[in-house]
Amino acid sequence: MNQPTQTTRGQTPNSPIFETGDGDLDASRYNSQFGDSEAMSTVTDEKLVATPGPDDLVGRMGQAFVNANKLTQDEVIRIIQLQQRRRIRFGEAAIKLGLLSEEDVHEVLAQQFNYQTIAKHGAGSKKKISSRLLISHSPYSAQAEAIRRFRSEILLRAGDNPCLVIALISPNSREGKSHLSASLAIAFAQLNLKTLLIDANLRKPALHQLFDVSNKTGLSTMLAGRTLPTLDLSHSITNHLSVIPSGPKPPNPSEILNAPNLSDLLENFKSEVKVIIIDTPPTRVGADAQIIAPQAGNAILVCRKDQTTAESLRAAYRDMETASVKVLGTFFNTVPDSFDPSVGRIRQWLGRLGVAQPYKD
């Protein structure tokens, strides 16, 4: 990682920064290590594609689909013939012939690389993950690649931890925080790290909708002692991802989340998982986020282009600094107005800490 640039007057060493939509920082014009995610290269199956004859299917791309019962050998031959004529990838040829869907291609590629995609809650399940979580449904898209780069940056900044606990913080609603929480949890699970996603937004939860799980019990019932604080009561999405929804809305969200209630619960889980991602309410609607973050120890600030003001983000940052919470970074998010608060097609830029002040509206 590049060494942080010397801070300017009025900055703290950990002050968050933003990048503009053109890939440049604000007036200070520092260079960022991240560019527009739209320009990122995507992972394809090109290196896996060979142009074998019908007798050379074993160990090739076609055989992988035959083994997965998605193609017959005759269909593989048709795909290879089109692939050779058009000079296109195997998966692209299969989709053009109507023999495979894009989801089928991603699923088999994921199996070859032991890489999890989770359109559904495991084999045979009718519960579907929200299609807006592109890292689940389109794991080779530019947006998914951007999330993985963000994940890598977090791991570098966090250092070695037996269990990494991160609270996602934003000043306001409709800034994409719940969507980012879910996407990050999926990204960590794709590293085969046991990951727990917790919806600590007891006021307006969203994660149970994104993952299509029941919200009859969850964090609130665990904290109130109505259900056991165990992973056995979480919703298992994959072998490496579990979700604890918010549960029923309590009359006293701030009190029920207070230390040591949540921190004791987190301690119970730390011995069983490697990563815990916590979604929180906006800082401007109550004290919940300020209560949750110190018990997590680490935070990511989330802001939205053309909506989050510099002052509200500075206030959220000051709250984290006052509570001695380590801010790992700031996520600059673009969420279309037509989408729900915590969902949308992400184009984001993560700037290095300690470079410049937030942009000005």
Q: What is the DSSP string of 238-258?
A: ETTEEEE---SPPS-HHHHHT
Q: Are residues 146 and 246 in the same domain?
A: yes
What's the confidence (pLDDT) of residue 182? 95
Position 284 in a domain:
yes
What's the confidence (pLDDT) of residue 232? 92
Q: Are residues 174 and 240 in the same domain?
A: yes
What's the confidence (pLDDT) of residue 97? 93
Position 154 in a domain:
yes
Given a cut of 60, whether residue 297 has pLDDT beyond it is: yes
Domain count, the chain: 2
Q: Are residues 70 and 186 in the same domain?
A: no
Q: Are residues 105 and 172 in the same domain?
A: no
Query: Of residues 272 and 101, which shows the higher confidence score?
Result: 272
Structural domain that includes position 70: 46-112
Q: Which of 311, 268, 313, 265 is nearest to 289 (CA)?
A: 313
Position 129 in a domain:
no
Position 346 in a domain:
yes
Q: Could you give the 3-state DSSP secondary structure of residue 179?
A: helix
Given a cut of 70, whether residue 73 has pLDDT beyond it is: yes
Of 92, 112, 132, the residue that ends a domain is: 112
What's the confidence (pLDDT) of residue 38? 35
What's the confidence (pLDDT) of residue 65? 85
What's the confidence (pLDDT) of residue 17? 34
Residue 277: strand pairing partners: 166, 197
Of 96, 112, 128, the residue that ends a domain is: 112
Residue 331: strand pairing partners: 302, 350
Q: Which burial class, exposed, middle or buried, applies to 266 when counting CB atoms under 10 A from its CB (0-12, 13-18, 19+)?
A: buried
Given a cut of 80, whether residue 37 has pLDDT beyond it is: no
Q: Are residues 275 and 326 in the same domain?
A: yes
Q: Are residues 63 and 150 in the same domain?
A: no
Residue 330: strand pairing partners: 301
Q: Which burial class, exposed, middle or buried, applies to 344 when counting CB atoms under 10 A from its CB (0-12, 13-18, 19+)?
A: buried
Of 112, 133, 158, the residue that ends a domain is: 112
- DSSP tag of 120: B
Q: Which of 23, 24, 37, 135 is nearest to 348 (CA)?
A: 37
Taking residue 54's Cβ as centre, other Cβ atoms within 10 Å add up to: 12
Mean pLDDT, the chain, as a whole number?
Answer: 76
What's the confidence (pLDDT) of residue 142? 82
What's the confidence (pLDDT) of residue 112? 60
What's the confidence (pLDDT) of residue 64? 83
Position 287 in a domain:
yes
Q: Are residues 108 and 149 in the same domain?
A: no
What's the confidence (pLDDT) of residue 332? 86
The per-residue pLDDT for range 101-119, each reduced to its tens digit, is 877 777 776 666 555 555 5
Span of 45-54, 115-124, 252-261 with lowest mean pLDDT: 45-54
Q: Are residues 97 and 214 in the same domain?
A: no
The per-residue pLDDT for range 165-175, each reduced to its tens digit, is 999 999 998 89
Span of 37-41, 222-226, 256-260 with lowest mean pLDDT: 37-41
In percent, the amount of the chain with pLDDT more than 70 equals 70
Position 32 in a domain:
no
Q: Are residues 292 and 159 in the same domain?
A: yes
Q: Are residues 230 and 339 in the same domain?
A: yes
Q: Are residues 108 and 145 in the same domain?
A: no
What's the confidence (pLDDT) of residue 135? 84
Position 6 in a domain:
no
Q: Are residues 51 and 162 in the same domain?
A: no
